[in-house]
C-alpha cells in the first residue's frame, strides 16, 4: 500500500509541476502581446521612414533613451538622454534625415516578455551600412496604448546627443 501512495504523490507532483511550467510559459510568451509588439515596431519603422513627427508619440513621456557612443579610440561611453529633449530633437532632426535619406532598419528581432512589458532585441542597420545592437522595451500606458519605455543602441555620431543635451539644459 505504501508503494501505491508514494506513486500517486509522485504522479501528482509531476502533474502540478507540468501544469505550472505550461502556465508560466504561456504568461511569458503570450502570442497576443508578441503580435502587438510586432505591429508596434512595424509602425515605428514606417513612421521613421516617412520622417513623420508622430514617431515621437510612440515614446512614453518618461522613456529612458540610452546611447552607447563608440569613440574613434575604441572606447565607449553610455549616455542617458532626457526623453522630453530627445523627442523635441527628433521632430527637428527628421528634416535633416529626410534631406540625407537617412533610414534605420531593424533586423533579426526577438520578442520576449519582461514582466508586463515586451523587450525587443536585434540589430539596427542604417542605410549607410552601420550596424549596432538595439534593445527596445515597450509597455502599455494608463490608456492601454503601447509606448517605448526604453531604447538602447550604439552610435558613432555624437551630433544628435550633443544637440539633445544642449537643449535639455
Tens digit of each residue's pLDDT (9 = 90 or more) over 119-130: 999 999 999 999
Residue 15 lies in a domain: no
pLDDT score for 22? 39
Q: What is the pTM of this model?
A: 0.78
Residue 26 lies in a domain: no
Instruction: Map 100-118 to HEC letters.
Output: HCCCEEEEEEEEEEECCEE
Residue 46 lies in a domain: yes
Residue 106 lies in a domain: yes
What are the strands of the beta sheet with 131-140, ordered from one edge?
A: 76-81, 59-70, 146-155, 131-140, 117-126, 104-114
pLDDT score for 12? 52
Burial per residue of 138-155, b for 16 or more beta-carbon CB atoms within 10 angstroms, e otherwise: bbbeeeeebbbbbbbbbb
Instruction: Domain of residue 51: give its range.
Output: 31-168
CATH number at 69 reads: 3.10.450.50
User: Cα separation of 66 and 155, whole Å?
Assistant: 10
Tens digit of each residue's pLDDT (9 = 90 or more) over 143-153: 999 999 999 99
Residue 78 lies in a domain: yes
Structural domains of the chain, count:
1
Tens digit of each residue's pLDDT (9 = 90 or more) over 21-71: 434 333 344 667 899 999 999 999 999 999 999 999 999 999 999 999 988
Residue 3 lies in a domain: no
Most distant pair of Cα atoms in the chain: their distance:
82
Backbone angles phi, psi at 119, to 5 degrees: -100, 125
pLDDT of 6 higher than 80: no
Residue 110 lies in a domain: yes
Amino acid at each position: 500500500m505504501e508503494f501505491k501512495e508514494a506513486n500517486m504523490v509522485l504522479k501528482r507532483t509531476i502533474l502540478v509541476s507540468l501544469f505550472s511550467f505550461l502556465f508560466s510559459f504561456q504568461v511569458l510568451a503570450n502570442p497576443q502581446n508578441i503580435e502587438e509588439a510586432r505591429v508596434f515596431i512595424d509602425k515605428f519603422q514606417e513612421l521613421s521612414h516617412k520622417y513623420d513627427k508622430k514617431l515621437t508619440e510612440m515614446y512614453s513621456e518618461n522613456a529612458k533613451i540610452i546611447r552607447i557612443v563608440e569613440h574613434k579610440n575604441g572606447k565607449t561611453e553610455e549616455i542617458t538622454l532626457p526623453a522630453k529633449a530627445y523627442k523635441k530633437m527628433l521632430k527637428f532632426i527628421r528634416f535633416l534625415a529626410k534631406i540625407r535619406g537617412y533610414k534605420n532598419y531593424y533586423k533579426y528581432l526577438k520578442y520576449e516578455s519582461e514582466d508586463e512589458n515586451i523587450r525587443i532585441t536585434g540589430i539596427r542597420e542604417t542605410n549607410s551600412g552601420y550596424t549596432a545592437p538595439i534593445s527596445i522595451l515597450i509597455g502599455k500606458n494608463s490608456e492601454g496604448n503601447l509606448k517605448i519605455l526604453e531604447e538602447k543602441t550604439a552610435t558613432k555620431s555624437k551630433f544628435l546627443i550633443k544637440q539633445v543635451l544642449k537643449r535639455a539644459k
